[in-house]
Amino acid sequence: MLLIRNGDIVTATDRFTADILCDNGVISAVGMNLEVPEGTPVIDATGKHVFPGFIDPHVHVYLPFMGTVSKDNYATASKAALMGGTTTLIEMCCPSRTEDPLDAIRLWKSKADGISFCDYTFHMGVTRFDETTADALRHIVSIEGITSFKVFLAYKGAFGIEDTELFQTLSLAKELGVVVTAHCENADLVAEKQKKLISEGKLGPEWHEPSRPVTVEAGGCRHLMTYAEMTGAQVYVVHTSCIPAVEAIEEARKRGVKAWIETVSPYLTLDSSYAELPNFEGAKFVMSPPIRSQEHGDFLWTALAEGIIDTVGTDHAPFDYATQKHMGHPDPAKCVDAHFQTTGTPGNFTLIPNGIPSVEERIKLLYTEGVRRGRIDLQTLVRCASTKPAEIFGLYPRKGAIVPGSDADLVIWDPEWRGKISAATHSMATDYSAFEGKSIVGRADTVTVRGKIMVQNGEWVGEKGWGEFLPREPKKYGDC
Ligand code: URP
Ligand code: ZN
Ligand code: ZN
Ligand code: ZN
């Protein structure tokens, strides 16, 4: 048993002062002056917010991609998540086009089982659809308990799928009651733009954004919406970065397409000028779709506050700067990294592994830049980073809620803590932070997962392997 006394409880819809009693891993009571047996451990949460555990609906922990493999493992990523107040991870299982889907999901699960500190599940990447795929996916949904898919309209030749495969995936998803998450960019246009920029000698990280302009992302969204409309599948657009992309999805919603919109912390808190930093520092900020100019970031905050954007994830993609981002270094004379030494050829922005690590920082950034700056309120913070991800992906009300019966995943948040983000102190396994030196207000003071304290007074006290896989049930389409 654990009693959290007198906290300022914040949910997606409410805010009130009460005690929370946790028993046997779940919340057993919420109310004022709860009576507990003598000896029950008590945490005094006076002056602090108590949030339902946060859910990151879009992370990569194990990601073989662009000729390298991401740096985190489940021990480092789930510890980092918990230190930042995230108690559930939904990881993208991303097989190559030649990998067997069942082998892939078992491999991804094996990376977390018995290792993860926090709870977790997966979106099943569909990177090929042939005569064997439907059976494998049916099994993955009904036996493995994975009820969301992931498709890439970008990254042709790697994870990207053809239109006939997209149609088959969405048709099957509709039949099974599965939500399809999608990376939306027009892959052919990206390839053309990349070729042209490189032929003009435009090689540095600052050319990554121009190679994947907002039109290319909006075009990808429209394409997905057409297929969702044709099949009746429910879709979830991941990492939405810009105004035209949100508008394209809004337009389809008006026609009756069921589509959710996710944005991610880098788009809200960074802008495209970071990719222009000298000495190849810009490579730290290369992800796809790219980080846009400030007007897009401002728009995303407003769309979030208005409920047009449903969720905020991270797209945590942990690549090191020194050895991995440098694979795209254009200037051999200045580069001492592995890429140049092994190939002897200069790189360019298309060779920089795409992605930014931020699983640890999402809630701090949303709180500091969103809540404290008056861009979103506390309920929106809880809605977009906990309750909505739980609802969309079949975890609610086990997760995302503070009601009797819900898992006792709780974040006691100190709103007055002040500090700075630094790679020197973070728990992620990467050698840099995209938010290095950033001043932060507020932090996760105490974090529980199913009633077990994993972070206490900002210090790590977690138990390895405490995290559990979360099997999920398919949706009844039309219910949400
Ligand atoms: O740049 C990104 N987003 N890297 C991770 C892979 C993906 O597209 O989600
Ligand atoms: Zn993506
Ligand atoms: Zn991703
Ligand atoms: Zn280099």
Question: Which tens digits make up the pLDDT trace of 168-220?
Answer: 999 999 999 999 999 999 999 999 999 999 999 999 999 999 999 999 999 99
Q: List pLDDT tens digits, range 313-367.
A: 999 999 999 989 998 998 867 776 655 556 667 889 999 999 999 999 999 999 9
Q: What was the pLDDT predicted at 338? A: 54
- pLDDT score recorded for residue 341: 59
What is the model's pLDDT at position 323? 87
pLDDT band (50, 70, 90) for residue 477? confident
| Ligand 1 binding pocket mutation candidate from 287, 350, 356 (most atoms within 8 A of CB) | 287
Query: Per residue in 373-397, pLDDT tens?
Result: 999 999 999 999 999 999 999 999 9
Helices 243-254 and 214-231 meet at what angle, rounded to 10?
20
Scan for tokens 């992370």, then name that residue.
Answer: 59
Q: How confident is the model over 46-66, as a mean pLDDT?
A: 98
- Who surrounds ion ligand 3 at CB < 5 A? 315
Residue 34 Cα to chain centre, angstroms: 36
Task: Please spell the DSSP secondary structure of 391-407, one letter per residue.
Answer: HHTT-TTTSS--STTSB
Tell whether the model's pLDDT for residue 479 goes beyond 70. no
In the predicted model, what is the mean pLDDT of residues 273-299?
Answer: 97
* Whether residue 60 has its Cβ less than 6 Å from ligand 1: yes
pLDDT digits (tens, 9 = 90+) for 118-174: 999 999 999 999 999 999 999 999 999 999 999 999 998 899 999 999 999 999 999
Ligand 1 atom closest to the CA of 154, numbered from 1: 8
Ligand 1 atom closest to the Cα of residue 155 is: 8
State the distance from the centre of ligand 1 to the C-alpha of 355, rounded, in angstroms. 5
Report CA(324)–ligand 4 centroid distance (Å). 9
Structure tokens at 105: 């999901």
pLDDT of residue 334: 72
Q: Is 121 in the pocket of ligand 1 (CB under 6 A)?
A: no
> Average pLDDT in the 416-435 region?
98
327 close to 352: Cβ distance less than 8 angstroms: yes
Ligand 1 pocket, 194 CB below 6 A? no
- Whole-number Å distance, alpha carbon 59 to ligand 3 midpoint, is 6
For the chain, the domains span: 53-371
Give the number of whichever ligand sits closest to the CA of residue 286.
1
Please state the atom number of ligand 1 nearest to the C-alpha of residue 183.
Answer: 8
Q: Quote the CATH superfamily of domain 53-371.
A: Metal-dependent hydrolases (3.20.20.140)
Distance CA 242, CA 300 (A): 7
CA-nearest residue for atom 9, ligand 1, is: 315
Compute the Cα dihedral for 102, 107, 113, 116 and give only its sign: negative
Residue 374 in tokens: 């008056």
CB neighbours of residue 294 within 10 Å: 11
Q: Is 354 in the pocket of ligand 1 (CB under 6 A)?
A: yes
From the CA of 288, the nearest ligand is 1
- Alpha carbon of 105 to ligand 1 centroid (Å): 19
Burial class of residue 257, CB neighbours in 10 A (0-12, 13-18, 19+): buried
Pocket of ligand 1 contains residue 315 by CB under 6 Å: yes
Given a cut of 90, is residue 254 above it in pLDDT?
yes
Q: What is the pTM of this model?
A: 0.97
DSSP-derived secondary structure for 265-293: HHHHH--GGGGG-TTTGGGGG--SSPP--
Ligand 1 neighbourhood includes 287 CB (under 6 angstroms): yes
Q: What is the mean pLDDT of the chain?
A: 96
- At 407, the amino acid letter reads D
| Protein residue closest via CA to atom 3 of ligand 1 | 288
**Span 54-83, mean pLDDT?**
97
Whether 388 lines ligand 1, by a CB cut-off of 6 Å, is: no
Residue 318: nearest ligand to its CA? 1
Tell me what percent of the residues of the chain surpass a pLDDT of 90.
Answer: 94
Q: Tell me which residues have their CB within 5 A of the ion that is ligand 2.
A: 183
Angle at 180 between CA 176 and CA 186, to 5 degrees: 140
Backbone torsion region of residue 295, taken as left when φ is above 0, otherwise alpha when ψ lies between -120 and 50, otherwise beta: alpha
| d(CA 43, ligand 2 centre) in Å | 40
Q: Which atom of ligand 1 is nearest to the CA of 65?
A: 6
Atom of ligand 1 nearest to the CA of 58: 9
Q: What is the pLDDT of residue 349?
A: 97
Residue type, 110: S
- Which ligand is nearest to the Cα of residue 355, counting in written order? 1
